[in-house]
Structure 1
Amino acid sequence: MTENKLIGVSRRGLLGAFAATAVVAAPTYSSAFGLLKGAGDIRKIRMYSGRTGESIDTIYWIEGEYIPEVMKEINHFMRDWRTDDVVGMDMRTLDIMAASHRLMDVGEPYMLLSGYRSPKTNAMLRSKSGGVARNSLHMKGQAADLRLKSRSVGQMAKAAAACASGGVGKYSRSNFVHMDCGPVRSWGG
């Protein structure tokens, strides 16, 4: 019979050792976290929606664990407000958003312009704009379009790109940044 225990080493101790190693390995962006170059004890997100009037200011990750009840609240908040459809948002996108927010050292919440988009909403937006992808990651719950009053599109995009964990689109004319957990790439101006 084999025991799957490490003598004298706790899960928390291993996570702490990994976090310390990750921070040393990535000193330039040590204030980013998780899969984004260094761990922290908590991750939080602050957003509001001008479309629904709702806001959210919550801790969604504590000491290596996502909080399921909070993730449900975030999924509802980031729903397609046109159809009221909800999907499970990809946690990697939330991590990119939260790490970018932390890198910018800003207290202001994000304004969420678009989180999840149903295929119907995406098709409607695509018919009105050339900037909407046919197979948008918004339809998979893997993208968000965000704005901050206190930071420029360039500053937001630079923070998101520093995470090197997904796509970053700059939409300067519309004053927002797209962040997703897809392949690392950037576009826009």
Structure 2
Amino acid sequence: MTDATRNARRRFLHTTGTLALAAGLMPLAPRKALASLPDGRSLASLPDARKLTFDHTHTGEHISLVYAVGDRFVPDALTSLNGFLRDHYSGAVGVIDPQLFEVLFRVRRELATDKPFQVISGYRSPDTNSRLRTSRGGGVAKHSLHMDGKAIDIRVPGVALSDVRDAAKSLQAGGVGFYQGEQFVHLDTGRVRYW
């Protein structure tokens, strides 16, 4: 084995060990530790790190984090995203389908932008959904996937709404609704359909 091969193997084992340690410690890590590994490196510096950034139009909150590395989701990041995407009417926190973040990441890549997603609606409690159905003239589905944590309504500043819609449709990864008048695109991880 050459010195170069040994060094490459050593770096690989160190990175793999660090990732394993980070994955094991993530549920115990404080919220501010989401962005770094025990050795001080940023999660974003790892190969295959997937990051999302959001601004919430109703709460005024902002979040930017690595939610997955390779084929593993970062548990603490998912918990933070669940809280961020809570029902902004009632404060109820649901469990967001991690595959929804994968769809959003792919949409962002299709659009070739690093702009944050502006969130109009994430999780919606059954009570909120029922109230919105009766107050919005039928624009809210009775069995909305928002209640299952499988839907989000978004837009991207500086990107045409139709481009967001088209990028999402090109993935064929779930439902895509286009709401030009309300200025958002609905994305979900349900069956592939468009409206």
Report the TM-score when normalising by structure 2: 0.74
Question: What secondary structure is seen at the aligned counterpart in 1 of 2:103?
Answer: helix
Query: In 2, distance between residues paired with 1:53 and 1:172?
Result: 22
The match for 1:163 is 171
Q: Following TM superposition, by how much is the alpha carbon of 1:50 offset from its aligned partner in structure 2, in angstroms?
A: 2.2
Q: Does 1:117 align with 2:124?
A: yes
Query: In 2, distance between residues paired with 1:115 and 1:141?
Result: 7
1:101-132: per-residue Cα shift (whole Å, max 9, x none)? 11101121011000000011111111122221
The match for 1:88 is 95
Q: Does 1:72 align with 2:79?
A: yes
1:58-85: per-residue Cα shift (whole Å, max 9, x none)? 1100021000001000000000011111
Query: In 1, distance between residues paired with 2:159 and 2:132?
Result: 26
Q: Quick check: 2:126–2:147 contact (8 Å CA) kept in 1?
A: yes
1:138-187: per-residue Cα shift (whole Å, max 9, x none)? 00000000012211221001111111110000000111000000000100
Tell me the C-alpha RMSD between the 2 structures: 1.5
Amino acid at match of 1:44: K
The match for 2:157 is 149
Amino acid at match of 1:120: D
Query: Which one has a larger percent helix, Structure 1 or Structure 2?
Result: 2
Query: In 2, distance between residues paired with 1:107 and 1:155?
Result: 15
Question: What secondary structure is seen at the aligned counterpart in 2 of 1:123?
Answer: helix
Which gives a bigger RCO, structure 1 or 2 (Cα 8 Å, sep 6+)? Answer: 1
Question: What secondary structure is seen at the aligned counterpart in 2 of 1:173?
Answer: coil
Percentage of pairs with the same residue? 36
Amino acid at match of 1:158: D
Report the TM-score when normalising by structure 1: 0.76
Q: 1:47 aligns with which of 22, 45, 54?
A: 54
Q: Quick check: 2:124–2:146 contact (8 Å CA) kept in 1?
A: yes
Q: Any unmatched runs of 5+ in structure 1?
A: 1-11, 13-39
Question: What secondary structure is seen at the aligned counterpart in 2 of 1:177?
Answer: strand
How many residue pairs end up in the alignment?
150
Q: Any unmatched runs of 5+ in structure 2?
A: 1-15, 17-46
Query: In 2, distance between residues paired with 1:75 and 1:62?
Result: 18
Query: In 2, distance between residues paired with 1:157 and 1:48?
Result: 19
Query: In 1, distance between residues paired with 2:186 and 2:71?
Result: 26
Amino acid at match of 1:161: K
Question: What secondary structure is seen at the aligned counterpart in 2 of 1:108?
Answer: coil
Q: Quick check: 2:116–2:157 contact (8 Å CA) kept in 1?
A: no
The match for 2:193 is 185
1:93-108 equivalences under 5 Å are 93-108=100-115
Return structure 1 stretches of 4+ with deviation > 3 angstroms: none
